[in-house]
């Protein structure tokens, strides 16, 4: 905080009076380093009788002077505006320093931040991140983010952060799957991240192959160490090599409004992800009414990691928000062959209880020139409710997911993970109703529930429909045993398979996951555990053809299919 001397009477010796007089005559500067806990902020804030002004030193660090008169005015109003710190809002002047300064002052004094109505803030390529720790209303203001020349492609424009410090709990040497409590001292509810660097999971197969990642898990505990069993521990940890606790903020931080436009980068088309975004790394955040559009995409460009990036936090809601799919570019993958690069407007990683409600995208969800809008890793309890997006996707696993009242476009539903995956009251235009990602073993350790849905295979293109797709040869070690959902319940499903090839035999429950597995002679080095039971209730087809098991009758011969009324 900025410390103001209350009066000279505080110091009751003549000598101190002369010292203070000397201080004010020759300095009159009171400096506070606004390096808030857990943030990237590095702002020197002074309070002198000079005008409120924002400047930078030779190292690019912000220096903010706030006059005592303005400081009193801001505190009385309970908020600051970007124009208070010199933002022009003319769409031409780079306003990022003023924006960052406004948030730095607001963070110190617990003030709200409000953009000026109808202003257009230009944000150039300078490396500067504005730290948000208080309620922020972007309102009807526009923000132009110019990515054509950027100093640091991984520096967020805004970082929503907590003022609470992460710490390393002691005494947790191992963990068990579905363990209900950890024995360690905690100041309150925390998001726990644990790692065992001795174990590799998610050893990717295919054109983007890799050697896997250290075993990682995230879960929420209360102050007594009780694990929230709606998002349970999913791995056994024989050894915990790293553990971090992130305290969960009790108060909700609200971010509202804002019309953002990214002028797309013109970089080389290779895996060099741009993160010029709004990064949320604080628990209990609501984003409401934001819009993001993209302009300037050409015949090449580097991919984006997500304009809204949610990471290392819990309980985040994004609602009434409009986003944009990025153009798909191609490069050479790790296997030395051409691949399409994933490019996202939403990214979620190591996060629990993340909801997207009443959200959509600006471009056609069935336009294949645009990549799927979301990517996620290490998440639990993801929700789409009343969303219209090109894709749902979980790369390195999701534990529990729900899609309801939504429409999914050409990339459909792609996932691996565990727990319960529920799809209800939704329309899916993907190649399959649910695709279990083959690059991670097409694994789902748990249950699928599909009810009251419409499936339009391949968006209505000519195709032989199958509901559950994926691939697993049983010859690759993914770092875990791969499962298909143990139980699949499908109720009130309408399959619009009217556009089908002449030799079409009807939609299959399962795609052909392993065409080479046609008899007992085929040996899996790493057995793939198939589904035990499928329950069907009121499944209808536009073609009039009955639902069948699979093209690979041998692989799924032990699946019990119950057709119930």
Q: List, for residues 233-291, the tens digit of each pLDDT value.
A: 999 999 999 999 999 999 999 999 999 999 999 999 999 999 999 999 999 999 999 99
Of 6, 70, 66, nearest to 34 by C-alpha is: 66
Q: Which two tokens stand for residue 544?
A: 């009039």
**Residue 22 exposed, middle or buried by CB count within 10 Å (0-12, 13-18, 19+):** exposed
3-class DSSP assignment, residue 441: coil
pLDDT, residue 192, reads 98
Sign, CA torsion 167/172/173/177: negative
Residue 4, burial from CB neighbour count under 10 angstroms (0-12, 13-18, 19+): exposed
Say which DSSP state 360 is in. E
| H or E stretch covering 76 | helix 68-77
Rounded to whole angstroms, the Cα distance separating 313 from 288 reads: 18
Q: How many CA atoms lie within 13 A of 323 on its CB side?
A: 35
Identify the pLDDT of residue 6: 30
Pairing type for strands 533-541 and 560-564 reads parallel
Amino acid 17: pLDDT? 40
Contacts by 148-151 with C-beta closer than 8 Å and gap 24+? 148/263, 148/265, 148/266, 148/296, 149/124, 149/125, 150/125, 150/265, 150/274, 150/276, 151/125, 151/126, 151/127
pLDDT digits (tens, 9 = 90+) for 103-136: 999 999 999 999 999 999 999 999 999 999 999 9
pLDDT at residue 565, rounded to an integer? 74
CA distances in angstroms from 454 to 145, 257, 451, 460, listed in the order given: 38, 33, 9, 12
Give the residue ranges of the chain where pLDDT is below 50: 1-40
- What single-letter DSSP state applies at residue 517? -
DSSP, collapsed to helix, strand or coil, labels residue 48 as coil
> Is the pTM here over 0.85, yes or no?
yes
Per-residue burial over 437-448, b if 16 or more Cβ lie within 10 Å, else e, is bbbbbbbbbbbb
Residue 116 in tokens: 């000026």
Rg (CA), the chain: 27
Query: What pLDDT is recorded for position 344?
Result: 97
For residue 119, count other CB atoms closer than 10 A to its CB: 21
């Amino acid at each position: 905080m900025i410390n103001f001397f209350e009066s000279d009477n505080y110091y009751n010796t003549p000598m101190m009076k002369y010292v203070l007089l000397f201080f004010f005559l020759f300095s009159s500067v009171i400096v506070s380093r606004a390096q808030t806990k857990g943030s990237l902020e590095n702002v020197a804030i002074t309070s002198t009788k000079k005008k409120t002004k924002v400047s930078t030193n030779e190292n690019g660090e912000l220096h903010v002077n706030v006059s005592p008169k303005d400081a009193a005015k801001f505190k009385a109003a309970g908020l600051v505006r970007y124009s208070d710190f010199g933002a022009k809002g003319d769409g031409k002047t780079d306003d990022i320093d003023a924006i960052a300064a406004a948030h730095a002052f607001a963070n110190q004094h617990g003030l709200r931040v409000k953009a000026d109505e109808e202003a257009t803030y230009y944000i150039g390529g300078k490396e500067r991140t504005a730290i948000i720790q208080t309620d922020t209303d972007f309102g009807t203001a526009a923000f132009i983010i110019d990515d054509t020349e950027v100093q640091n492609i991984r520096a967020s424009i805004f970082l929503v952060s907590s003022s609470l410090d992460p710490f390393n709990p002691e005494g947790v040497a191992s963990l068990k799957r579905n363990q209900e409590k950890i024995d360690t001292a905690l100041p309150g509810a925390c998001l726990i991240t644990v790692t065992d660097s001795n174990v590799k999971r998610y050893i990717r197969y295919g054109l983007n192959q890799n050697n896997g990642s250290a075993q990682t898990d995230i879960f929420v505990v209360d102050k007594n160490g009780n694990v929230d069993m709606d998002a349970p521990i999913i791995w056994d940890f024989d050894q915990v090599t790293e553990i971090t606790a992130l305290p969960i903020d009790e108060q909700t931080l609200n971010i509202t409004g804002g019309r953002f436009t990214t002028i797309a980068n013109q970089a080389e088309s290779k895996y060099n992800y741009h993160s010029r975004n709004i990064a949320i790394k604080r628990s209990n955040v609501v984003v409401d009414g934001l819009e993001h559009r993209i302009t300037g995409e050409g015949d090449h460009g580097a991919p984006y990691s997500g304009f809204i990036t949610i990471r290392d936090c819990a309980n985040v809601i994004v609602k009434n928000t409009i986003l944009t799919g990025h153009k798909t570019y191609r490069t050479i993958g790790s296997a030395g062959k051409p691949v399409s690069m994933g490019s996202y407007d939403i990214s979620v990683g190591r996060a629990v209880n993340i909801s997207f409600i009443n959200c959509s995208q600006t471009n056609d969800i069935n336009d294949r020139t645009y990549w799927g809008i979301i990517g996620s890793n290490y998440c639990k309890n993801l929700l789409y409710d009343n969303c219209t997006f090109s894709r749902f996707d979980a790369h390195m696993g999701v534990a529990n997911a729900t899609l309801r009242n939504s429409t999914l476009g050409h990339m459909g539903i792609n996932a691996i993970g565990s727990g319960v995956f529920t799809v209800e009251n939704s329309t899916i235009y993907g190649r399959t109703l649910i695709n279990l990602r083959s690059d991670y073993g097409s694994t789902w350790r748990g249950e699928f529930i599909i009810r009251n849905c419409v499936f339009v295979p391949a968006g209505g293109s000519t195709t032989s429909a199958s509901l559950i797709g994926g691939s697993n040869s049983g010859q690759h070690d993914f770092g875990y045993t791969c499962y298909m959902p143990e139980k699949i319940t499908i109720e009130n499903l309408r399959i619009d398979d009217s556009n089908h090839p002449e030799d079409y035999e009807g939609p299959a429950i399962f795609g052909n996951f392993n065409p080479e597995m046609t008899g007992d002679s085929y040996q899996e080095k790493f057995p793939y555990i198939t589904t035990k039971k499928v329950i069907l209730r009121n499944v209808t087809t536009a073609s009039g053809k009955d639902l069948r098991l699979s093209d690979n009758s041998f692989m799924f011969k032990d699946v019990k299919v119950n057709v119930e009324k």
